[in-house]
Amino acid sequence: MKFDAENWFLERKAWGGLESILIAPRGVEPKLLVVLCHGFGASGTDLVSLAEEIVPSLPEGSSKPAFLFPAAPMDLEESHGMPGARAWWLINMAKLAELSAVDNLDALRNEIPPGIDEARESLENCIEACLSDKQWSAAKIVLGGFSQGAMLSVDTAIRSRRISPVGLIAWSGALICESAWEHAFRTRPRSFWVFQSHGRQDMILPLSTGRALCGFLKGLSLSVDYTEFHGPHTIAMESLDGAANLLGNALNS
């Protein structure tokens, strides 16, 4: 589908310091604000087209959510020679590729990447500024993202003292910050739906990392809908269908 200008609007703005794109229904306060964070090395617009894929799959009669697509704060053009590419925090891609080649990513489980706290704060600022600007005081939050964006979404869902999501979408993420996440969750328990997907042929973040994340989230007694698909490091149709199902639950709860 294509969003028609009569029923939807698109706005580009720097909320809380992050350049972002907002797609939302006209004339109503949305019940949900779905925040989708792109992966390492992608542009801030990388996931925007997914809104058009997800909305038609929502349950019939559901109200329409708003979608916020923030661009990560770090520009990789100078540091990595990647024009238009952005990151939530820096990643040693050579080291990651080396570990992925032998499927030995256990070292990542308790790694707290330098810059993740600042990334989480930037995301919190962006969400709060957008809600305040649009005067959407009643909108609930669903956090989601792909790859590095999925990791940030999990981190924010568990560790944030400012954002309390009703749902979490993790496409091709990985378990990091394990001890910190467990401590934060045990200190401040919360409940939210989780949808997670991972490709069986993922050569960037092997399937084992997705399974580890799934096991960790289930260990927190969260309701996790986990899907594996035949494919690489990507967002498959199964990933979009699962996300739409989670949003349907949140919209109709």
Q: Which domains does the chain have, with CATH numbers?
A: 8-251 (3.40.50.1820)
Would you call 119 helix, strand, or coil by DSSP?
helix
- 240-253 mean pLDDT: 95
How sure is the predictor about 103, in pLDDT bands with cuts at 50, 70 and 90? Answer: low
pLDDT value, residue 94? 61
DSSP conformation letters of 194-251: EEEEEETT-SSS-HHHHHHHHHHHHHTT-EEEEEEESSSSS--HHHHHHHHHHHHHHH
Residue 194: what pLDDT? 99
The 8 Å CB, 24+ separation contacts for 72-81 are 72/18, 72/37, 72/38, 72/44, 72/119, 72/149, 73/17, 73/18, 73/118, 73/119, 73/122, 74/115, 76/41, 80/41
Q: What is the pLDDT of residues 152-167, one digit of tens each?
A: 999 999 999 999 999 9
| Phi, psi of 107, deg, nearest 5 | -65, -20
Given pLDDT bands bounded at 50, 70 and 90, which one contains residue 91? confident
193-200: average pLDDT? 98
pLDDT recorded at residue 253: 82
What's the whole-number average pLDDT of the chain? Answer: 93
- Predicted local confidence at residue 191, as pLDDT: 96
Give me the pLDDT at residue 4, please. 81
Are 69 and 20 spatial neighbours (Cβ–Cβ below 8 Å)? Answer: yes
> Which carries the bigger pLDDT value, residue 84 or residue 131?
131
Q: Is the dihedral of CA 21, 131, 189, 123 positive or negative?
A: positive
Q: Which stretch of 2-6, 30-34, 46-50, 155-159 has the lowest confidence by average pLDDT?
A: 2-6
pLDDT number for residue 107: 73
Q: Which of 85, 156, 91 is nearest to 119 (CA)?
A: 156
Cβ atoms 32, 222 nearer than 8 A: no
Q: How far apart are CA 214 and CA 161, in angstroms?
A: 23
Whether the predicted pLDDT of 1 surpasses 60? no
pLDDT in tens, 65-80: 999 999 999 999 877 7
What distance in Å separates the CA atoms of residue 52 and residue 1, rounded to the nearest whole number?
Answer: 6
pLDDT of residue 101: 61
Report the pLDDT averaged over residues 174-186.
96
Query: Rounded mean pLDDT of 210-228?
Result: 97
Q: According to the model, what pLDDT value does residue 232 have?
A: 98
Looking at residue 114, what is its pLDDT? 92
**Three-state secondary structure call for residue 109:** coil
The percentage of the chain sitting over the pLDDT mark of 70, rounded to a whole number, equals 94
Give the separation between CA 225 and CA 6, rounded to whole angstroms: 35
Phi, psi (degrees; rounded to nearest 5) at 2: -120, 135
